[in-house]
Chain A
Amino acid sequence: MPNISADKTSLRQKGGSLNRTRFVPYLFVAPFVIFFLLVYLYPLIMTVIMSFQKIDGPNHHEFIGVKNYLKLNTRDFQMALQTSGRYAFWDVIVLTIFPLLVACVLHSGLAKGTSFFKSLFFIPSLTSIIVAGIVFRLAFGTLETATVNRVMTALGLQPVKWLSYAGPGNFVLILLTLWRWNGVNIVYYLSGLQSIPADHYEAAQIDGANAFQKFFHVTLPGIRPVLIYVITITVLGGFSMFTESVALWQQNNAGGVGRTIVGYMYMVGFKKNNLGLASAVGLVLLALVVAVNLIQLFLMGFFRKED
């Protein structure tokens, strides 16, 4: 008898742990799944549906086929595409290379006071982008008496109407983004650099590699996963940028200089109350970002099998 009861207990325990093993993983992923379904998938499906509709108030949803997509063939939307494309291109170049160089200098130990500089570079990312945008907007004002134009004049250069034209406007936007996000990317790169074993550099040294060879053949391959991550989020951030341009240009976007695709979507959806067209803009943006990201990941060998 005692044996039978012991068997029962062990069975019960076995069954309990079996149930637990089956149940617990679902429990752990449940918050993500619920969040994903409610906050990502449902809105995505609704956006697809709405992009084929004309929406006039809560009870007026009329299917209009691809009319919303055809309406994107406007100068305004093309300007928004150009602005976002131009910004994303320079954003990726500047925000990938500059923080990498700074991180390498900070990591190499060549410079003194590295902790101080790490904090200095990181502090702007803690500030409000709206406040920073207002400071930048006033500093890069159109008048000759604006701060930056005074510096330009003192250097013997012509004053520039910074925010009035696409080229200089994009420059200010990139400068603002670099100032703000440089520190964050430095932190990513530093974590990557610290994971490269020192003996790799020693081996390169013994083989007679110079500093550039070490950088291209040891450092870059060593931080490849971090590099892929940084470029991916920078592409994403570049195309979905909105706040920085609003902070610099406010609601006015003369010549579309500061109106990005998200800015265009916001304007169409809320200022023109055309949620159907705004949904179509959103989906075009999604397709664009996915395509660019896939190409970039493919080029960087993300899908290649590790040797």
Chain B
Amino acid sequence: MKKLLAVVLTLSLMLCAFGALAEGEPIHLTLWTFQELHTELYKTMLDKWNAEPGKPALDIDFQVFPYEDMHNKLTIALQSGEGAPDLVDIEINMFANYLKGDIGLAPMNEYVEPIADHLVMSRLNNYAKDGKYYGIDHHIGATVMFYNTSILEAAGVDYTAIKTWDDFHEAGKTVLEKTGKPMIVWESADCWSVYPMVNQHGGDWLTPDGQVRMDEPVVINTLAFMKSMLDDGTAIPCPGGWTHTEEYWGWMNGGNCAAVCMPFWYLDRFTNYMPDLAGQMKIAAMPEWSDGGHKSAQMGGTGTAVVASSANADIAKEFLAYACLSFDGCVTTWKICGFDPILKDVYGSEEMKAPNKFFEYYDQDIFSVLSEVLDDIPDTCISEYFPSATDIVKTQMAYRLVELREDPEQIARDCAEELRSLID
């Protein structure tokens, strides 16, 4: 018995000694993401954090999963209450799924509210519920035009003179006539053509209280305009179905299309996957609608969130704010990811003007385009049924418009009816 007691006491003393040693050890956090590019940002910011005196040392385990796998794992972890990471990147289309019932994410209000005037709050509203901000975005995702100036010059079109979508359509006719190439592609398998166009025009899929807006005249008119471009060949269905396929990149890189309308974060798709167009591509604001609407539309995004049940939730929140809301964090976001940061203070600063691969590729003052539209970007309504709405747009609205060329009014009505039937 005495021997046993001695062994137990010795073990306890050893554990205490290790505990004392552990105090100097860094705090261990886990971060899940589906976007490897983001880990570069976090790693850079982690090094800066650890180099700062007074900050508790952090050690973050970055785990990169495929998009679907990561969200599935997170759903199961939050549903079961076990196995979730401390920090997680959640894609905007999936975010509403995690704001149902007992919310498993921690609000970031203590970091957001003091600097709310300096932030593009419409981005953070996408990840908010009942006044609590659960996700921090890395970018505004303002939709812009990417023009292939070689094709436009060959057709004698000046892209800076394109002010409205009607101008754009007319320019498209000239391009098609002179070069035989389409002006733009519309996606048939995803929402990155239909949604920015509708949103910029002043429409959306839902209201904040869950009413369906899919069959409003603004949606029908937008679809009708897109169809008119398809009908005369100035727009064609996107090769591969959407603008994130090898087929599309290869085709676009071959100089086969005059323009594409995508959010600002598409900047790096050109530098990474369409290198032959370096120096030929120029960024410009979206053409405006002659019957109202906005200058741009905010599209896509990732809300990085802290899991509420994390043992180190407080320190995780502090690090997230440091990495994504601070001036330095936002400048680093631009430098590493090529994103348009959500902190307004960085625009116009010297740090943002330093040469990088994006300035080299586009050879223009990218931010002057962005500053033109920053003041007029509408909110998007990311509510509980947004994932259902997006799915209907992807599987039905875009496909029936672009591939089947059906009547826009009928498409809008059917899609709205389908969405209504899914809402309780």
Give chain A's interface residues, CB within 8 Å of chain B. Answer: 54-60, 67, 71, 73-76, 79, 138, 141-143, 146, 161, 163-165, 251-256, 259, 267, 270-273, 275
Closest B residue to A252 by beta carbon equals: B189
Determine if B79 and A270 form an interchain contact, defined as CB atoms under 8 angstroms apart.
Answer: no
Determine if A54 and B403 form an interchain contact, defined as CB atoms under 8 angstroms apart.
Answer: no
For the complex, what is the distance from the CA of A141 to the CA of B245, rounded to whole Å? 10
Candidates B94, B104, B241; contact of A142 at CB < 8 Å: B241
23 contacts between A and B (CB under 8 A): A57-B100, A57-B102, A57-B104, A58-B78, A60-B100, A71-B421, A74-B422, A75-B414, A76-B392, A76-B396, A143-B239, A146-B247, A163-B241, A164-B237, A251-B67, A253-B189, A255-B188, A271-B387, A272-B97, A273-B75, A273-B98, A273-B100, A273-B387
Determine the chain A residues whose CB is within 8 A of the CB of B404 once the complex forms.
255
Interface string of B278-305 (1 = CB under 8 A from A): 0000000000000000000000000000
Determine if B395 and A254 form an interchain contact, defined as CB atoms under 8 angstroms apart.
Answer: yes
Determine the chain B residues whose CB is within 8 A of the CB of A164 once the complex forms.
188, 237, 241, 403
Determine if A272 and B421 form an interchain contact, defined as CB atoms under 8 angstroms apart.
Answer: no
Determine the chain B residues whose CB is within 8 A of the CB of A71 once the complex forms.
421-422
Determine the chain B residues whose CB is within 8 A of the CB of A79 once the complex forms.
395
Give chain B's interface residues, CB within 8 Å of chain A. Answer: 67-68, 71-72, 75, 78-81, 94, 97-98, 100-102, 104, 188-190, 237, 239-242, 246-247, 251, 387-388, 391-392, 394-396, 398-400, 403-404, 414, 418, 421-422, 424
Centre residue among B101, B237, B394, B424 by max chain A CB count within 10 A: B101
For the complex, what is the distance from the CA of A73 to the CA of B68, rounded to whole Å? 26
Closest B residue to A251 by beta carbon equals: B68
Determine if B241 and A252 form an interchain contact, defined as CB atoms under 8 angstroms apart.
Answer: yes
CB distance from B246 to the nearest CB of A (A): 7
Candidates B71, B98, B421; contact of A73 at CB < 8 Å: B421
Determine the chain B residues whose CB is within 8 A of the CB of A74 once the complex forms.
418, 421-422
Take A255-B403, A259-B395 as given contacts and tell me if A57 and B190 are in contact as well, using a CB distance cutoff of 8 Å. Answer: no
CB distance from B421 to the nearest CB of A (A): 6
CB distance from B76 to the nearest CB of A (A): 9
Centre residue among B81, B239, B251, B395 by max chain A CB count within 10 A: B395
Determine if B388 and A58 form an interchain contact, defined as CB atoms under 8 angstroms apart.
Answer: no
Determine the chain B residues whose CB is within 8 A of the CB of A267 once the complex forms.
391
Determine if A60 and B101 form an interchain contact, defined as CB atoms under 8 angstroms apart.
Answer: yes
Closest B residue to A70 by beta carbon equals: B421
Given A251-B68, A255-B395, 12 new contacts (CB under 8 A): A55-B79, A57-B104, A59-B101, A60-B102, A76-B395, A141-B239, A143-B251, A164-B188, A254-B241, A270-B71, A270-B75, A273-B387
CB distance from B299 to the nearest CB of A (A): 17
Take A142-B241, A255-B400 as given contacts and tell me if A58 and B391 are in contact as well, using a CB distance cutoff of 8 Å. Answer: no
For the complex, what is the distance from the CA of A116 to the CA of B403, rounded to whole Å? 44
Candidates A67, A76, A138, A256; contact of B424 at CB < 8 Å: A67
Determine the chain A residues whose CB is within 8 A of the CB of B400 once the complex forms.
255
Determine the chain B residues whose CB is within 8 A of the CB of A273 once the complex forms.
75, 97-98, 100, 387
Determine if B424 and A58 form an interchain contact, defined as CB atoms under 8 angstroms apart.
Answer: no
CB distance from B396 to the nearest CB of A (A): 7
Take A57-B102, A71-B422 as given contacts and tell me if A270 and B72 are in contact as well, using a CB distance cutoff of 8 Å. Answer: yes
Determine if B403 and A59 form an interchain contact, defined as CB atoms under 8 angstroms apart.
Answer: no
Determine the chain B residues whose CB is within 8 A of the CB of A55 once the complex forms.
79
Determine if A254 and B79 form an interchain contact, defined as CB atoms under 8 angstroms apart.
Answer: no
Determine the chain A residues whose CB is within 8 A of the CB of B422 once the complex forms.
71, 74
Determine if A271 and B67 form an interchain contact, defined as CB atoms under 8 angstroms apart.
Answer: no
Determine if B418 and A56 form an interchain contact, defined as CB atoms under 8 angstroms apart.
Answer: no
Determine the chain B residues whose CB is within 8 A of the CB of A252 once the complex forms.
189-190, 241-242, 394
Candidates A54, A259, A275; contact of B79 at CB < 8 Å: A275
Determine the chain A residues whose CB is within 8 A of the CB of B190 once the complex forms.
252
Closest A residue to B417 by beta carbon equals: A75
Determine if A254 and B101 form an interchain contact, defined as CB atoms under 8 angstroms apart.
Answer: no
CB distance from A222 to the nearest CB of B (A): 46
Centre residue among B81, B190, B239, B242 by max chain A CB count within 10 A: B239
For the complex, what is the distance from the CA of A75 to the CA of B237, rounded to whole Å? 23
For the complex, what is the distance from the CA of A276 to the CA of B113, rounded to whole Å? 37
For the complex, what is the distance from the CA of A60 to the CA of B403, rounded to whole Å? 41
CB distance from A77 to the nearest CB of B (A): 10
Closest A residue to B73 by beta carbon equals: A270
Determine the chain A residues whose CB is within 8 A of the CB of B81 once the complex forms.
58
For the complex, what is the distance from the CA of A109 to the CA of B75, rounded to whole Å? 56
For the complex, what is the distance from the CA of A253 to the CA of B397, rounded to whole Å? 12
For the complex, what is the distance from the CA of A272 to the CA of B422, rounded to whole Å? 11
Determine if B240 and A142 form an interchain contact, defined as CB atoms under 8 angstroms apart.
Answer: yes
Nearest first, the 7 closest Cβ-Cβ pairs linking A and B are A56-B101, A273-B97, A254-B189, A57-B101, A60-B101, A254-B399, A255-B399
Candidates B78, B387, B424; contact of A57 at CB < 8 Å: B78
Closest A residue to B398 by beta carbon equals: A254
For the complex, what is the distance from the CA of A146 to the CA of B245, rounded to whole Å? 13
For the complex, what is the distance from the CA of A8 to the CA of B309, rounded to whole Å? 66
For the complex, what is the distance from the CA of A161 to the CA of B100, rounded to whole Å? 40
For the complex, what is the distance from the CA of A138 to the CA of B246, rounded to whole Å? 9
Closest B residue to A277 by beta carbon equals: B422
Determine if A141 and B240 form an interchain contact, defined as CB atoms under 8 angstroms apart.
Answer: yes
Determine if B71 and A271 form an interchain contact, defined as CB atoms under 8 angstroms apart.
Answer: yes
CB distance from B221 to the nearest CB of A (A): 23
Take A76-B418, A164-B403 as given contacts and tell me if A58 and B98 are in contact as well, using a CB distance cutoff of 8 Å. Answer: no
Determine if B68 and A272 form an interchain contact, defined as CB atoms under 8 angstroms apart.
Answer: no
